[in-house]
Structure 1
């Protein structure tokens, strides 16, 4: 086969592949693009490309064909020419394989995401069980709106406890000595409740971050 015929045949083959790739990319939905955005679809050295869309491969393949055309015009060994041709055909095969495996890759990515969410949920439940805050309703831990409601409730309690401590301190300064021990014990008790409430606020804030982090990553 003459050199010009070889290049022409490769360019025709590339044009046909380009049409298939454009159709493939146009049919991708946003969810599929998001799932595969960080997925490497090809072996190292074939293409510099990640994600569901395959259009970038066409431009890279076109450059390889142009490089081969230059080699054919120069005084280059047959082995080098054959190696270049094999590399181009490997890339054609890889793109066609990617066209046929997008659905499988999406399903695999969905399973991996579901597994990550399940593991994250399990870790949150375990952390909740070990935190010592079992008095916070378990159902709240799985709903961001209820978490924020719980956070606001505890913040209001903090204000209430702080105000109560201030009032008790004022009474303590003016009470009879016989009543001081009882007031001091009451102040100590409210301080403990205040400390517990502040710990709960920190815990709930951590739960909010853990709950929202996977969804923020997904919607990037």
Structure 2
């Protein structure tokens, strides 16, 4: 499923780049003083790029796709994929929401059918809020168990021999590392929930 979603997204990015190049060639912002005064088309939370050319943002998307983490790193992979999906949607929103662009290109550019295609692509890589809340619940339960394990090892150390205490201390350190990864996963899931809920409010 992840591979198919990724391939679909790559196809959408290729298509989006062609449309962004067409959009930029039309120079729709050239006579708009407000737009020309802006340092960037998008918020820094969505793109690192600062430009008034859409194709520059699609280039950033391509770099994000090229540097995706391995798919077996599920949390990082899903989070990165969702960020890319939101970037794709953001660029497409500029194209479809510009009336001049629609008017000048309605004969060769059909925004509504394309919008459906992009929404479908985004939907394939976005988890539903229900699934994410289940994931968050599981991560919080895992966090609780790890904290209990650490407390148990600390109690055992009080009456342990030096050799046993050293072993328990190593286990505590290892469990702390797992706890840190767990908490990062919790933060990532919470961010994903916010992203999905923002998409649903649009």
Higher relative contact order (CA 8 A, sep 6+): 2
TM bucket (normalised to shorter chain) is 0.3 to 0.5
